[in-house]
Amino acid sequence: MSKLKYFGASLFFLALLFTAAPLCAETFVVGSEDVFQYPNMQQYGFVDVRKNDEIRRSDAFSRLPHMHAAAMEILYRGDLAEAGPLIERVDNDLFNADYSKAARTIGSAFNQKYQGSRIVLGELSRTLQPLARDVEDFAIFMSDFLKGYPNNAVLIFTTEGVARHASYSPGRPFFWQEAPADTQTVDMLDRVFSTEETAMIPFFDVEKFLLDLWGDDALNARGETAPVELWRVGAKEVVREKWEGGDWHKEILVLGDKIK
């Protein structure tokens, strides 16, 4: 992956409280052209339904990269006949190496069906993130997806180096909670969607909320303190922050497309 470049906009934090040595945060604005190079399809990986009895993808779905195939199976509930036209369009975009358009096309189909639902975006993120090669690849895919799923954004942070976290709306004494999986009942506070390595918060791109992070200075299996990375993913850009592992506390204010 090529070296990350600065693109102008910077992130600043309202509060930086810590008990360890001063933290050096790396701030990047990530752009698809300069940072992310989709590999060829063989490197990117395909779903082999013959080896996955749980998913049982059809051959048409399995031609596509993991995240694309999984997203369309969620959208069409595995109905190949209904999904056929979209599969053809996405397959053509991928064949022509227009990966951004492929993700945007899928985003538009989701938006048409779910009208920009934040909960759907969270469930989709929770399903797709483990299928990506790494979190940054997922962030770039979602940025392209959001070009077709307007007025939404996703905040993502890695959790290995986080002792605990709390997110909430300013002035409201209720912390947001983990959204339960596989349920038809959704509480208004169910805003956090977690995987094994990340926590993700979908939000409307004009929304304002706070995120508190407490670093973990415990050593992991590698004998190191794990760093913490955070991405603010929007349709226009992906912004990444990174801090070294340690015993610290941060209060992060998200103001739509800005993080302070």
What's residue 243's pLDDT? 95
What's residue 79's pLDDT? 80
For residue 103, CA distances in Å to 69, 108, 141, 144 come to 11, 9, 6, 5
Query: What is the C-alpha to C-alpha distance for residues 260 and 252, in angstroms, rounded to an integer?
Result: 6
Bridge partners (DSSP) of residue 214 are 164, 249
C-beta of residue 248 within 8 angstroms of C-beta of residue 19: yes
Rg (the chain; Cα; Å):
19
Instruction: Count Cβ atoms below 10 Å from residue 194 Cβ, excluding itself.
Output: 17
In tens digits, the chain (260 residues) has pLDDT values of 433 333 233 322 223 222 333 344 444 444 333 333 333 323 323 333 323 434 333 455 556 788 898 898 888 887 878 888 998 899 889 888 899 999 999 999 999 999 999 999 999 999 999 999 899 999 999 999 999 999 999 999 999 999 999 999 998 879 999 998 765 556 889 999 999 999 999 999 999 999 999 999 998 888 899 999 999 999 999 999 999 999 999 999 998 777 88
Mapped onto helix, strand or coil, the DSSP state of residue 116 is: coil
C-beta of residue 152 within 8 angstroms of C-beta of residue 203: yes
pTM of the model: 0.77
